[in-house]
Structure 1
Amino acid sequence: MTNNEYITLLINHIKKDVLLTESDIIALTKIIEIRELNKKEFLIQPNETSNSMNFIAKGCMRSFYLDEDAQEHTLQLGIEEWWINDLYSYLSRKKSRMYVQALEPTILVQLPRLKLEQLYLEVPAISHFFRIKIQNAYVAIQERVIDSMSDEAYDRYKDFIKSYRDIEQRVPQYIIASYLGVTPEFLSYLRKKHS
């Protein structure tokens, strides 16, 4: 795909939720940046501040943090037409405590924060779109926290393969285990149980 095709992918994604005029699309296109990441390359690391909204046009990514024992805890996975970020850092303007990493060669369509905030004033539909996205992200995080505290590991695994059908084959098993809060060995047991 070309950069124009990645931009069109983003525009069509946004148009699923809000109506954009031709002038809205022109204004949006002016602020877009395309970024390529290699496999295992970091978009964000601890002590950096997230400065863009990141739409995955091609590839697969994850966000994770390391606990005091240097154990990885995967918080988010993302593939084509998904958004990935450290929203805490982006919204609070505080330093990140997370890593956001490409799991495959990845193309991001980025919207730089300062330009995006100006665009909110010029194109209210874009502001409305991101309000929807941030609300949905909050709901998803809250559901995930509650599920992780109340659901059995097998139920979390079944929900994962139902929700992330297109991701399971693209992500290493240890990352899926980290996302589910289980060991890789226990994940193998859950997969056998499920099949």
Structure 2
Amino acid sequence: MDYELLIQSISNRVPINDNEKKLITALLKTRKLKKKNFLHQEGDIQQHVAFVKSGCLRSYSIDKNGTEHILQFAPAGWWIADMQSFLNVTPSGISIDAIEDSEAFLLNHTDVEQMYIAVPKMERYFRILAERSLATFQQRLIDALSLTAAERYTNFCKRYPTLIQTLPQKYIASYIGITPEFMSKMLSQPMKKG
């Protein structure tokens, strides 16, 4: 099994030795998902956190009007989960599915706790990820409250340059909080500079 991307993600934040790498990778389960297959569905209790080895996953909710709201994209090298459901062992308000054929490494509650005991520096790794995730979501909320749709789109392009080339426009529209029709209209008009 090729764990290189995960080991690189960990090593970029905390140093780990070969023995620690073996302890971590021994806890992982692998899951392959075809495009549009679910890793997790709304209403279920989130059983795992997932590290995307290849492909791309997304988390989203659907409101009472049937409108989809994308919360996160997770391309290769990213973690994804409904942390509220995972930590509180409560039914989830979101679904996670594959945007394209994907493969992920999974850790359940027991695996995570075993990993923290076997490799204590992994708590620091996940703390760093949690802090960055919180900062990103905070900035996204500020952007949603204070920026125009065009500014939110520009920020998305800057933050996720590789995703802008591969994601369907309707997914990007959902992520930045506009309809696909509005996005098409917006993109057909010249963007203002500055």
TM-score scaled by structure 2? 0.93
Q: Which runs of 4+ in 1 moved over 4 A?
A: none
Counterpart CA distance in 1 for 2:7 and 2:145 is: 37
2:161 is aligned with what amino acid? R
Deviation at 1:113, TM superposition (A): 2.1
Counterpart CA distance in 1 for 2:85 and 2:135 is: 18
For 1:94, the equivalent position in structure 2 comes to 90
Alignment gaps of 5+ in structure 1: none
2:145 corresponds to which of 149, 161, 165: 149
1:17 is aligned with what amino acid? R
1:194 corresponds to which of 185, 191, 194: 191
For 1:169, the equivalent position in structure 2 comes to 165
For 2:17, the equivalent position in structure 1 comes to 21
Instruction: Indicate if the aligned counterparts of 1:157 and 1:190 stay in contact, CA closer than 8 A.
Output: no
Instruction: Indicate if the aligned counterparts of 1:18 and 1:128 stay in contact, CA closer than 8 A.
Output: yes
2:114 is aligned with what amino acid? Q
CA-based RMSD: 1.4
For 1:68, the equivalent position in structure 2 comes to 64
TM-score scaled by structure 1? 0.93
3-state SS in 2 of match to 1:78:
strand
2:148 is aligned with what amino acid? E
Question: Does 153-162 or 49-58 show the bigger shift?
Answer: 49-58
Instruction: Indicate if the aligned counterparts of 1:47 and 1:96 stay in contact, CA closer than 8 A.
Output: yes
Deviation at 1:61, TM superposition (A): 1.3
1:116 has 2:74 as partner = no
2:134 corresponds to which of 138, 145, 166: 138
Alpha-carbon deviations, 1:125-149, whole Å to 9, x = none?
1111011111111111111111101
For 2:29, the equivalent position in structure 1 comes to 33
Deviation at 1:186, TM superposition (A): 1.4
Query: What fraction of aligned residue pairs are identical, expressed as a percent?
Result: 34
Alignment gaps of 5+ in structure 2: none
Counterpart CA distance in 2 for 1:189 and 1:125 is: 49
Question: Does 184-193 or 141-150 show the bigger shift?
Answer: 184-193
1:151 is aligned with what amino acid? L
Counterpart CA distance in 2 for 1:98 and 1:70 is: 13
For 2:176, the equivalent position in structure 1 comes to 180
3-state SS in 1 of match to 2:185:
helix
Q: What is the aligned length? A: 191
3-state SS in 1 of match to 2:145:
helix
